[in-house]
């Protein structure tokens, strides 16, 4: 999977052009164990656990903030039968997501649009029962503003679940920060920061879980899969991009193994308006 670097998250556009190619699908099967069309650190097993936490039903309206090509979103909609919406900065990701929803037979339940996630969420207040954002929040510029927007579009007592793979829990060098932030703007935060921002935005933190072990397993799988298809990927991406991604994944693995940067899941509930 190629991750070319461009500003404001648009560096993923080239990936999304070939996201559902045979090579892309094979890499995901090898990297994650099960291909659900994911592009982050999430696995099918992890997402199934989160579906039960969110208490989704067929009557629910669900938003995936930073949905990418719609893999986790369509996974949730297929399992629950609810209405699902997704927004992402990449128009090519949205196009890939629409194609995936159609191929999964849930295009009647899924609505996707491209939007800048650093701007107000383009939905009316109280539009959703649940908002999810997987490994996206660390790439946004003002998470307090984002959290307040999420609170606005949720119903009272609505659920907000997100993962953050940029929680600093040890020593990290400036070179490691550079390598870890290769995909664009990345905001690393200390433990407790997300909880404080959620409270300020009008949420009550319900649960939080350390998912660094899951990230480590996924990053190792992604690195192994890429090395196994090195020739094909170098031809597709170019040798410089391949090497850049190799060093990125090695850095993620090392930081996770020594406990310097952690990935956490947060579950919060919006308070009464």
pLDDT at 4: 33
Sequence-ordered alpha helix ranges (H) in the chain: 13-17, 22-32, 44-54, 71-80, 91-103, 143-153, 174-180, 193-200, 212-228, 230-237, 239-257
**Mean pLDDT calculated for residue range 179-193:** 94
- Distance CA(57)–CA(92), nearest Å, equals 30
Residue indicated by tokens 């539009």:
127
Phi, psi dihedrals of residue 21, rounded to the nearest 5°: -70, 160
pLDDT at 17 exceeding the cut of 80: no
- Quick check: 246 and 219 in contact, CB under 8 A? no
Listed by start position, the domains of the chain span 7-168+185-211+262-270
In words, the CATH class of domain 7-168+185-211+262-270 is: alpha beta
Is the pLDDT reported for residue 9 higher than 60?
A: no
DSSP one-letter code for 272: P
Residue 30, pLDDT > 90, answer yes
pLDDT per residue over 136-181, tens digit each?
999 999 999 999 999 999 999 999 999 999 999 999 999 999 999 9
Alpha carbon distance 93, 13 (integer Å): 7
pLDDT surpassing 60 at residue 69: yes
Could you tell me the CA-to-CA distances from 26 to 52, 95, 269 in Å, in that order? 28, 21, 37
Beta bridge partners of 83: 61
Distances (CA, A) of 265 to 42, 87, 94: 11, 20, 25
Radius of gyration of the chain (CA): 18
Strands 203-210, 110-114: pairing kind: unpaired
Backbone angles phi, psi at 69, to 5 degrees: -85, 20
Using the predicted structure, report yes or no on whether residue 90 has a pLDDT greater than 80: yes
> pLDDT-based confidence at 14, cuts 50/70/90?
low
Specify the pTM. 0.92
Query: What's the rounded Cα separation, in Å, for the pair 176 and 188?
Result: 12
CB 87 within 8 A of CB 65: yes
pLDDT surpasses 60 at 1: no
- Pull the structure tokens for residue 101: 């929803």
| The pLDDT of residue 83 is above 70 | yes
């Amino acid at each position: 999977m190629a991750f070319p670097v461009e500003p404001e998250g648009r560096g993923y556009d080239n990936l999304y052009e070939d996201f559902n190619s045979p090579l892309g699908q094979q890499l995901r099967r090898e990297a994650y164990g099960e291909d659900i069309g994911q592009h982050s650190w999430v696995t099918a097993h992890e997402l199934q656990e989160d579906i039960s936490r969110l208490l989704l039903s067929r009557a629910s309206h669900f938003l995936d903030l930073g949905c990418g090509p719609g893999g986790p979103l369509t996974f949730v909609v297929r399992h629950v039968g609810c209405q699902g919406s997704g927004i992402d900065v990449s128009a090519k990701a949205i196009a890939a997501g629409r194609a995936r929803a159609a191929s999964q037979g849930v295009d009647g339940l899924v609505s996707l649009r491209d939007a800048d996630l650093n701007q107000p969420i383009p939905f009316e207040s109280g539009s959703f029962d649940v908002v999810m954002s997987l490994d996206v929040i660390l790439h946004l510029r003002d998470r307090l503003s984002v959290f307040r927007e999420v609170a606005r579009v949720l119903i009272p007592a609505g659920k907000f679940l997100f993962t953050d793979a940029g929680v600093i829990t040890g020593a990290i060098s400036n070179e490691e920060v550079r390598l870890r932030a290769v995909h664009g703007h990345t905001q690393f935060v200390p433990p407790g920061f997300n909880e404080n921002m959620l409270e300020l935005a009008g949420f009550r933190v319900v649960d939080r879980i350390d998912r660094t072990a899951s990230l480590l397993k996924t990053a190792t799988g992604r690195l192994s899969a890429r090395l196994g298809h090195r020739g094909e990927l170098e031809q597709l991406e170019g040798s410089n991009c391949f090497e850049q991604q190799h060093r990125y994944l090695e850095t993620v693995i090392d930081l996770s193994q020594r406990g310097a940067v952690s990935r956490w899941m947060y579950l919060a509930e919006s308070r009464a308006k």
